[in-house]
Structure 1
Amino acid sequence: MGIDANDPLVQLKITSATCSFCALGATVYRLYKRQVRLGADDVWALFAFVVQIIQVAAVFLHIPGPNNLSKTTRIAVPYLMGTTFYATVWASRLSILFSIVRIDPSVERRRRLFWVAAAFVATALFLIGQLLWICEARPSWKNVEHPQCALPLQVAICQFVTDIISDSILLFAPLLLFRDLLDKSLRRKLSLIFSTCVVTTIVSLVHAAFLLRNSGINIAISATVEGCLSLIVANIPVININDRYW
């Protein structure tokens, strides 16, 4: 039997495989490049790397079909998809944040960024907790043939607000650092690289829109794209900047 490209699950698997290949490949290159000088930003990138692999495994648990899985596994897959999505996105943001910390010579600014990092971790835990709380409070979805926890409006709103705030922080946090750089070429390059956070913001808006409209498989596909893009963006500063600056 051939692959039906119109099958939503097949589309999800193709998206997951393609995007994850790029994201994981970028992370492998990043870790290879930084193997002798690993920092907190690399640790968070590695964490996102591992979580992304788990997400791919969750997506492909549907092969050759959900009916071949036990009920427990079918219920676990939506939880894995949701938690790994949040973990990948926020670990990637933490990687970007600690990339800024690594190159910022100001002790005071670095101290503030550590508090921001703590807020990012707390936000990720809150969003994961919200997901689990909502899905466990309405267990009827577990009894259908293809379990999928439908998320209410409040989840989309929380995700939208936290995405906008966090990406804005990552976009504007390096500005004071850039002003202190004497190398104008490096300053322009860093500004361009860190501005790629806007890309993840745009994708997160699309994902939030699908959540608001309860668009079924499009929610999972857009979440997969957002997670992978977040990890790719987190790797861009390290991949594109000369080692002497890190």
Structure 2
Amino acid sequence: MTRLWVSISAWRGVNATVHLIAIFATIFRLHHRYRLRRLWWDDYWAGIALLFSFGYFATVWMRRDVGDPSLGRKEAVALFWMTTTFFPCEVWSARMSLAFSIIRLIPERAIFRRRCMYALATIFGMMWLALILEKLWVCASDSSWTHTVAVQCLLGNAVGIITLCTDVISDTCLIIIPLFMLREVRIPVGQRRLLLAIFCSSIFSSLAGVIYAIFVFRADNLGVKRGLLISLTANIKAAVTLLVCNMLVIVTYFYRTFRRGQDLETDHTPVEPSKPAPVPASGGNHYTTTTDMSSVPTFETTSTFDTSPRSAPTNPTMTSSKFVNTAGTPLPTITETDTPSPSVATASVIVDSRPHFTKSAPA
């Protein structure tokens, strides 16, 4: 393998750029959620990742080139432990934020799915702890690296393999689970594609992890610059992972701002709802309807009621009822024979089941 070389200035420039982008994205995300009063555990984990990113970013300016006497050996060893601790903490805090972002999208009634995601977040925490303990064990069990020129602990292939496996497993879960969820959610095609693109951006974190693992595997062939090269890939991986966990909030914000809540693609014609048409009726009443009932026939009901005084023992009885279809079709007459009352008034009511209604009161 050809030996790579990188200057300390270029190393700082690249690391500072990627870290600043990730830091400002996280600050924007937290401010936006705080302004909307919608802070939740996914935002809290992003804030924890931001704190570790500040510490990891500070180590960029503390780093010196190989053989630089301005940085003592004890300071170099302390700097190594800082980078070794802050790096996995920033990466896995960002992944925890992604996991809780998915939990946030799961409805409250889907108890089983939410429990599965909480279990996955717990597994992420166990992977996080296992990687830190493994690095501490490898570098603390053999302190010979503290006396080398580069002051860099060689983690070995075991750490590289475990790191690569955990990266692939975690990022695959963070991609497949949202895809499975969105398959059962009825949303417009444009928004669906947007969400798929956001969650699939976790693949960039996996690619950065693969590059980091390759440099860890080939550390023996990198020469004295191996510390800078491995640290460079680690910084890029941490910044990309932190940036990816903020993509859902940032892209959604700009999508709503510039698209004004519209779909990315209009692939259906909206149906205009029926507008109610007010129709005045006698007596100053107004009736509205949204259903076309013009084809329904109307009926005229003529009834004769007994309107004798209330002191009379007889009850009001209907003597005859005749239904006439105004559409022209005669209907049968229903007659009930009873003793007619001396005083009778006739009430004629026309009921129209169409939008237009007419009332005729007694003269």
Q: Give me the TM-score of the superposition, normalised by structure 1.
A: 0.91
Deviation readout 1:112-144 (Å, 9 max, x if unpaired) = 011111111110111011111100111011123
Check whether the contact 1:12–1:220 (CA below 8 A) recurs between aligned residues. Answer: no
Deviation readout 1:171-200 (Å, 9 max, x if unpaired) = 111123202322123222111110001111
Which residue of structure 2 aligns with residue 191 of structure 1?
196
Which residue of structure 2 aligns with residue 231 of structure 1?
242
Amino acid aligned to 2:42: D
More strand by share: 2
Comparing 205-214 with 63-72, greater Cα deviation is found at 63-72
Amino acid aligned to 1:80: M
For structure 2, which runs of at least 5 residues remain unmatched after alignment?
262-363
2:180 to 172, 176, 183: 176
Aligned mates of 2:94, 2:68 — CA distance in 1: 30
Check whether the contact 2:6–2:229 (CA below 8 A) recurs between aligned residues. Answer: no
Comparing 155-164 with 177-186, greater Cα deviation is found at 177-186
Aligned mates of 1:208, 1:37 — CA distance in 2: 37
Looking at CA atoms only, which structure, 1 or 2, has the larger radius of gyration?
2
Change (3 A) 1:218 1:87: same
Aligned mates of 1:19, 1:88 — CA distance in 2: 14
Amino acid aligned to 2:234: A
Check whether the contact 2:16–2:60 (CA below 8 A) recurs between aligned residues. Answer: no
Aligned: 1:85 with 2:96: no
For structure 1, which runs of at least 5 residues remain unmatched after alignment?
1-5
Aligned mates of 1:144, 1:83 — CA distance in 2: 21
Aligned: 1:47 with 2:48: yes
Change (3 A) 1:107 1:34: same
Aligned mates of 2:15, 2:156 — CA distance in 1: 24
Shift of 1:71: 2.9
Aligned mates of 1:28, 1:195 — CA distance in 2: 22
Q: Give me the TM-score of the superposition, normalised by structure 2.
A: 0.63
SS at match of 2:99: helix
Which residue of structure 2 aligns with residue 139 of structure 1?
143
Change (3 A) 1:63 1:147: closer
1:111 to 101, 111, 115: 115
Aligned mates of 1:9, 1:219 — CA distance in 2: 13
CA-based RMSD: 1.8
Aligned mates of 1:149, 1:8 — CA distance in 2: 20
Check whether the contact 1:13–1:60 (CA below 8 A) recurs between aligned residues. Answer: yes
Change (3 A) 1:166 1:83: same
Which residue of structure 2 aligns with residue 3 of structure 1?
none
Aligned mates of 1:66, 1:44 — CA distance in 2: 37
Structure 1 residues 15-94: aligned runs within 5 Å = 15-35=14-34, 36-62=37-63, 66-94=68-96
Aligned mates of 1:89, 1:133 — CA distance in 2: 20
Number of positions where the alignment pairs a residue of Structure 1 with one of Structure 2: 239
Shift of 1:9: 2.6
More helix by share: 1
Q: Which has the higher contact order (CA 8 A, sep 6+)?
A: 1
Check whether the contact 1:66–1:146 (CA below 8 A) recurs between aligned residues. Answer: no
Aligned mates of 2:139, 2:124 — CA distance in 1: 23
Percent of paired sites with the same residue: 31
